[in-house]
């Protein structure tokens, strides 16, 4: 069955450092992958989409990579700030109209 | 644009009672999704609609759950009878049609507690 795995542990990093979050998937071949941010008590908010033919995508301090051979996406936040503290969810998807989400990684940026 | 609007924000009910959750999607969005989030299982898709028609309800846990979308601006998720294991945060999301990978827009959820 299809499976999505994100960093199993919560991630704590120091302000100013680069945070790297991992999303691994098995048993399917997504045509694209989306990343969302979720704050406590709120719904997820879309951040970035990367297609299978794109190796890397950037938006301000965010960078996403997509390796279809490794079946993995990496999500980087450079120059991290306490305001980046949140849970980050990945959602690989193919032609299906619905999205399936990973369980998320809780990131805490320490001042 | 007010975004996806869900009500109520919090619902506390006793086991056996009927619960109705409501969602107003973003105007013009053709797809509407209902998700449930728990610590144990994460964010799970329950059902989704395209142009008010249910397309896939395979995620609905059992017959106690039902969802309707009577028009393009309103959807409900009903649980009857409710059980303590239904306690979770229920999210509604919508997205436009056309481009199949357009991002989802989520509401802020309804936190349901069944005692």
pLDDT in tens, A8-24: 779 999 999 999 999 99
Residue B22 pLDDT > 90:
yes
Q: What pLDDT shows up at residue A29?
A: 84
Q: What pLDDT shows up at residue A7?
A: 81
Greatest mean pLDDT range, A88-97, B3-12, B92-101: B3-12
For A101, half-sphere exposure in the C-beta direction (CA atoms, 13 angstrom radius) is 26
Q: Between chain A and chain B, how many beta carbons pairs sit less than 8 Å apart? A: 51
Residues from chain B contacting residue A49 (CB–CB below 8 Å): 101, 103
Inter-chain CB proximity A43 and B4 less than 8 Å: yes
Residue B97 pLDDT > 90:
no
Question: What's the token pair of residue A39?
Answer: 């704050």
Nearest to A36 by CA among A48, A50, A20: A48
By Cβ distance, the residue of A36, A98, A103 closest to B48 is A98
Inter-chain CB proximity A44 and B104 less than 8 Å: yes
Mean pLDDT, all residues of chain B:
95
> Strands B110-114 and B88-95: what pairing?
antiparallel
């Amino acid at each position: 069955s299809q499976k999505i795995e994100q960093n199993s542990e919560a991630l704590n990093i120091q302000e100013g450092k680069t945070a790297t979050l991992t999303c691994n998937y098995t048993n399917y071949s997504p045509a694209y992958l989306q990343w969302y941010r979720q704050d406590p008590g709120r719904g997820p908010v879309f951040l970035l989409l990367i297609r299978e033919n794109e190796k890397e995508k950037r938006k301000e301090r965010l960078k996403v990579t997509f390796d279809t051979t490794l079946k993995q996406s990496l999500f980087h936040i450079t120059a991290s700030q306490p305001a980046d503290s949140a849970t980050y969810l990945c959602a690989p998807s193919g032609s299906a109209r619905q999205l399936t989400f990973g369980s998320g990684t809780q990131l805490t940026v320490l001042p | 644009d007010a975004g996806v609007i869900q009500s109520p924000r919090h619902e506390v009910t006793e086991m056996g009672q009927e619960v109705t959750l409501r969602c107003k999607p973003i105007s013009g969005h053709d797809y509407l999704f209902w998700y449930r989030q728990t610590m144990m299982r994460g964010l799970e898709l329950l059902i989704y609609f395209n142009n008010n028609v249910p397309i896939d309800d395979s995620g609905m846990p059992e017959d106690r759950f039902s969802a309707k979308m009577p028009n393009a601006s309103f959807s409900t998720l009903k649980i009857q009878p409710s059980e303590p294991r239904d306690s979770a945060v229920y999210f509604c999301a919508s997205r436009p049609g056309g481009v199949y990978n357009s991002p989802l827009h989520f509401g802020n959820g309804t936190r349901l507690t069944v005692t």
